[in-house]
Amino acid sequence: MSFLSETLSRVKPSPTIAVTQKAAELKRAGKDVIGLGAGEPDFDTPQNIKDAAIAAINAGKTKYTAPDGIPELKEAICAKLKRDNGLDYTPAQVSVGTGGKQILYNALMATLNEGDEVVIPAPYWVSYPDMVLLAGGTPVIAEASIQTNFKLTADQLEAAITDKTKWLIFNSPSNPTGAGYTKAELKELTDVLLRHPHVWVMTDDMYEHLAYDDFEFCTPAEVEPALYDRTLTCNGVSKAYAMTGWRIGYAAGPEKLIAAMRKIQSQSTSNPCSISQWAAVEALNGTQDFLAPNNETFKRRRNMVIEMLNEAEGISCPTPEGAFYVYPSIAGCIGKTSPAGTKIENDEIFATALLEESGVAVVFGAAFGLSPNFRVSYATSDENLKEACTRIQKFCAALT
């Protein structure tokens, strides 16, 4: 009998972390590697937020808190949801966790039974299917195509829903594609959900504030108020506020579900870090002025990366609405051979060869459920991005 659980055998380690580790190993070995794998902004946490954390430490706010968040943060979250999304929630409908990841995990743990299905549009954030498996559910992957800029159509959603479907996990703007659904596109999906009253929506709005051009963010309960009673609106401060290390995420939804999530959290992590919670209060209530200049930087980088990748032979890269990722297709490179003799049979081989032969670390598309593609995170300096894209162009040009 194995010492390790059967549940564990169903999941795999995060491929994005594996790529980051491989790149770090090569760097340590003295190789010149540029990492485009990181899922976090290269900006520092804004000073007012750091100051709030320091003030919290000095004021002795260093003890256990209520399991799913201090009242001040819950109030700030309710105010944010009203201000940005037009959604009315009370503090009893809000749960704060140790990062967006724990919030999603708590919700799945609190609701899934064996046999329950969760519809996950692909390309998806790598953790969704594995979290569903850990919670005992069955991921049902609904593949979107590059032709619709990686957005799921109503027919695709309809086809993925069965009597066993418990949740749809929705993520816009998306990791890994950056795709953001317009209100009209989202309405087509919520119309499908109206026809299936047993299906709940877990919307992961983590990249809400990272949107470019004239894209207007929208979230399911806002677009279709009739879904309010079966929507869990999830968000966090990690990405927009450059607070990935602080580990604060949150969700709002029906009180019964929030209470169930609290029960899970109270028996696992007790509560998110007290100091980080006070920092998050400032993030949500304080100035939002840094968002616009940060987004200008991201937009400039996005445009440069797209232009340079589209100039690479065999690569085609759509323009996404948000986040800090692009998800180019390498269909034109498949079947070719690199100067070192690697036959590019799929996107995993492409990414490995690109790392080993040209020193650029990207995450291969199969990890996100749609091939042949790769993900570039442009949350790094212009200089790094320019050099990395030049290397990708040279690598592709040398394929025969």
Ligand X SMILES: Cc1ncc(COP(=O)(O)O)c(C=O)c1O
CB 189 within 8 A of CB 154: yes
> Interacting stretch for ligand X, rule CB under 6 A, among 95-103, 149-157, 346-354, 382-390?
95-103
Binding mask 195-234 for ligand X (x = CB under 6 A): ---------x-x----------------------------
**Residue 274, interface with ligand X (CB under 6 A)?**
no
> Interacting stretch for ligand X, rule CB under 6 A, among 94-102, 130-138, 221-229, 331-339?
94-102
Place of tokens 């590059």: 146
- Report the SS3 class of residue 322: strand
- Closest CB 83 distance from ligand X, rounded Å: 20
Q: Of the candidates 238, 156, 235, which has an alpha carbon nearest to the alpha carbon of residue 189?
A: 156
> Interacting stretch for ligand X, rule CB under 6 A, among 96-104, 289-297, 306-314, 381-389?
96-104
Subset of residues 27 to 86 that bind ligand X, contact rule: CB under 6 A: 39
For ligand X, which is the closer residue by CB, 101 or 166? 101
**Residue 20, interface with ligand X (CB under 6 A)?**
no
CB 157 within 8 A of CB 168: yes
Taking CB under 6 A as the criterion, the residue among 89, 105, 125, 150 binding ligand X is 125
Indicate the DSSP class of residue 363.
Answer: E
Taking CB under 6 A as the criterion, the residue among 37, 178, 220, 249 binding ligand X is 249
- Closest CB 339 distance from ligand X, rounded Å: 34
Burial 267-281 (b: 16+ CB within 10 A, else e): eeeebbbbbbbbbbb
Binding-site size, ligand X (CB under 6 A): 13
For ligand X, which is the closer residue by CB, 125 or 181? 125
* Phi (first) and psi of residue 249, to 5 degrees: -135, 165
CA–CA gap between residue 129 and residue 288 (Å, rounded): 33
For ligand X, the nearest residue by Cβ is 99
**Residue 322, interface with ligand X (CB under 6 A)?**
no
For ligand X, which is the closer residue by CB, 131 or 396? 131
CA torsion angle for 270, 234, 15, 165 (degrees, to 10)? 100
- Closest CB 171 distance from ligand X, rounded Å: 5
Please count the other Cβ atoms lying within 10 Å of the Cβ belonging to residue 104. Answer: 27
Residue 333, both tokens = 């490179």
**Residue 244, interface with ligand X (CB under 6 A)?**
yes
Subset of residues 132 to 191 that bind ligand X, contact rule: CB under 6 A: 171, 175
**Residue 99, interface with ligand X (CB under 6 A)?**
yes
Residue 355, both tokens = 């790392």
Taking CB under 6 A as the criterion, the residue among 69, 139, 236, 359 binding ligand X is 236
Taking CB under 6 A as the criterion, the residue among 100, 180, 220, 318 binding ligand X is 100
> Interacting stretch for ligand X, rule CB under 6 A, among 24-32, 98-106, 280-288, 387-395?
98-106
Angle at 137 between CA 134 and CA 143, to 5 degrees: 105
Place of tokens 């996404």: 320
CA–CA gap between residue 161 and residue 247 (Å, rounded): 33
Burial 133-168 (b: 16+ CB within 10 A, else e): bbbebbbbbbebebeebbbbbeebbeebbeeebbbb
Contacts to ligand X by CB under 6 A = 39, 99-101, 125, 171, 175, 204, 206, 236, 238, 244, 249
